[in-house]
Chain A
Amino acid sequence: MNRKITFAQAVNEAIGQAMQRDRSVICFGLGADDPKGVFGTTLGLQKQFGPERVFDTPTSENGMTGIGVGAALNGIRPVMTHQRLDFFLLAMDQLVNNAAKWHYMFGGNGNVPITIRLILGRGWGQGPTHSQNLQSWFAHIPGLKVVAPASAADAKGLLLASIFDNNPVVFLEQRWLHNMEGEVPEQFYTTPLGEAQLLQSGADITIVSHSFMSVEAVRAANILKSHGIHCDVIDLRTLAPLDWNTISTSVQKTGRLMALDTSHSFCSYAAEIVARASEQHYTKFKAAPRRIALPDVPAPTSMALTKNFYPSAREICEAALQMVGKSVKIDAKLFETGSPHDVPGPWFKGPF
């Protein structure tokens, strides 16, 4: 059995091993060398690899992204870090107009092997501009790869694959996953981009998920199993390119599709999954496909308002029961996590 480390430690280990392996890998971002090391993900890297390769930056999201793009065009592999995705919105020009298109619009003359780590907040009053999940924006842009791991092992393997990919990769880290532990091999390894993972197998419902919603999906699937409902739980891991085959095969088997999303429902990633499955497998459906996503309102701050904002295992179970036409009463205790709804666990004491 492998040793257990947290998601954040796995990210840290991946960057360290990439830098060890290849001198062209550099790591920068606001706070990259600060005492907290971006939630522990960059701790110790500057000491090990020096200030030329690991450095703090000016508060210039767009400029620094473009600088990363320029360095990448000349053989450097930058790993860029943002403590919240929301700040990175200032850099959409460099991401969308340059990083995503360079290889295509110059007919293959130049490529941009940059990895952009974006951390997504949730809970503890993070509110409207510290907890946005904009994966559908990124996945909409041709030329970008979008990665959203749900486990520590995948965080390491997918981050290493992202760093050594020859294309721009947006790497999404849910803050609530950072402290979750998992078995992680110590050696260098890559987990291929574009391959989903089947976390559980069952013939009744296909649950397609990513990032933190995969944690809720597994909890829900376990509860459903004890009530005789068996789910395929597909953790996408990579949102672009999409592993459509795994979804398609499963939907044809179960005839029921539930797409989970960490973001708003309208024009969401889950909407794309439902649309595509509906186009291709209309005749196979035994029940209308479902999206489980956030309501189409900004993330509120008050603990009272976030209570019904984030869907969890409970909503997944309720939807599943409707889809299979069962009316079973699930004991509410099964949904309790032992923590208030606005924190990932008792370890989380804020402030961000």
Chain B
Amino acid sequence: MNKDAVLDSSVLMQLYHRQMLVRLTEEEIAKRYPEGKMRCPVHLCTGQDAVSAAVGCALKPDDLCVSTHRSHGHYIGKGGDIKRMLAEIYGKAGGCSSGKGGSMHLVDRSVGYIGSTAIVGNTIPVGVGLGLSIKLKGSHQVSCVFFGDGAVEEGAFFEAANFAVLRGLPVLFLCENNFFSVYSPLRVRQPEGRKIHEMVRGLGLKAEDGDGNDIVEVYTKTKNAIDYIRSNSAPYFLEFYTYRWREHCGPFFDNNLGYRSEQEYLEWKERDPVELYRRRLVEQHQVDPKKLEQIDSSIMREIEAAFEFADASPFPEEGELYTQVFADSQGGVK
């Protein structure tokens, strides 16, 4: 029996679709970025696509989610509106944050995507606070917090994780270990031999690791973690190993800088999550490659339409500079 047998074929195809949506959107951003119309920093997640897609599919639409500077994939994975994401990156009024946030501040509350921010580790407490609000309200949602291997070096992580364990909050800590914090490798930041998921067990977190380039593994482990969180009223920590292909910030490749080797990059590229999954669907699940090509084409049409929307969307009026500093406080008193 093959190990994917437990997954329904509709889930398998949803995973394919979602992962391709992440990959093709990011690659189209990379392609068009030099046009100079996306006038904000972009941190592309190509190579890490499987985690974004699988976690987003494993969460329910009303589960909540916060993320980081490298968040396009998380936003798309959770079901966020691509048109509005691209319009945001274009700085347009039709953007998900009305042009005030850019690539690093995405939001789509209609799918539970509460926000991503630019400061490393700073949405971890926010995600735990969402967990606290869920518990206070007695709903059965889960709050998922995306972060990277650098964020577990922040005090904010330990403070927030401690409280989540202390109060038994429904929080999924989702660590994408891509081995670099900008250009600083893990070996100069954390002691040799330490495993992040092992370390956090010392905080009382249930934790495990997995192959972040295997979308089925990510999906299955995330599903199990979410089930555990819902039935045990306790947080869960997942660490997935993966790799960003492109430069820390921007559309290009930066292996020429020398902080990592071309060889290392090529080894990871051999394990391209998109290609691995495509092969698996064709070889293990007898999916017709033509069907996958059709899906790819339809996704590309969707992405092109989204870029057209972003390009055509008007810029914010100049007066918008001064709006939304404060929320309206009428009706605050009940």
Chain A interface residues (CB < 8 Å from chain B): 21-22, 24, 26, 52-53, 57-58, 60, 62-76, 93-94, 97-98, 102-111, 113, 142-143, 145, 160, 164-167, 190
**A49 → chain B closest CB, angstroms:** 12
Known contacts A76-B136, A104-B324, A110-B114, A70 near B126 by CB under 8 Å = yes
Contact B115 A106, beta carbon cutoff 8 Å:
yes
B142 at the interface (CB under 8 A from A): no
A75: which of B96, B101, B133, B332 is its contact (CB, 8 Å)? B133
Chain B CB within 10 Å, residue with most, of A57, A63, A65, A69: A63
Report, as a range, how many residues of chain B touch the other chain. 35 or more
Contact B326 A106, beta carbon cutoff 8 Å:
no
Contact B326 A143, beta carbon cutoff 8 Å:
yes
Known contacts A52-B136, A103-B325, A62 near B155 by CB under 8 Å = yes
Known contacts A74-B130, A164-B333, A62 near B156 by CB under 8 Å = yes
State in angstroms the CA–CA spacing of A98 and B160 once bound together.
Answer: 15
The 8 A CB mask of B102-119 against A (1 = contact, 0 = none) is 000101010000110101
Contact B325 A165, beta carbon cutoff 8 Å:
no
Chain B CB within 10 Å, residue with most, of A24, A106, A165, A167: A106
Contact A142 B325, beta carbon cutoff 8 Å:
yes
Chain A to chain B: the 9 pairs with minimum beta-carbon distance, closest first: A70-B129, A66-B125, A63-B159, A107-B98, A60-B159, A111-B327, A74-B133, A70-B126, A67-B129
Contact B114 A166, beta carbon cutoff 8 Å:
no
B126: which of A66, A107, A145, A164 is its contact (CB, 8 Å)? A66
Known contacts A75-B137, A97-B122, A190-B333, A67 near B324 by CB under 8 Å = no
A contact residues around B130 at 8 Å (CB): 70-71, 73-74
B contact residues around A72 at 8 Å (CB): 129
Contact B133 A62, beta carbon cutoff 8 Å:
no
Closest to A70 in B: B129
Contact B125 A113, beta carbon cutoff 8 Å:
no
B contact residues around A94 at 8 Å (CB): 122, 125-126, 156
Contact B333 A97, beta carbon cutoff 8 Å:
no
B97 at the interface (CB under 8 A from A): yes
Known contacts A103-B326, A166-B329, A58 near B163 by CB under 8 Å = yes
Contact A93 B122, beta carbon cutoff 8 Å:
yes
Contact B136 A108, beta carbon cutoff 8 Å:
no
State in angstroms the CA–CA spacing of A64 and B324 once bound together.
Answer: 25
State in angstroms the CA–CA spacing of A143 and B324 once bound together.
Answer: 9
B85 at the interface (CB under 8 A from A): no
State in angstroms the CA–CA spacing of A104 and B326 once bound together.
Answer: 7
B100: which of A57, A68, A73, A104 is its contact (CB, 8 Å)? A104
**A255 → chain B closest CB, angstroms:** 32
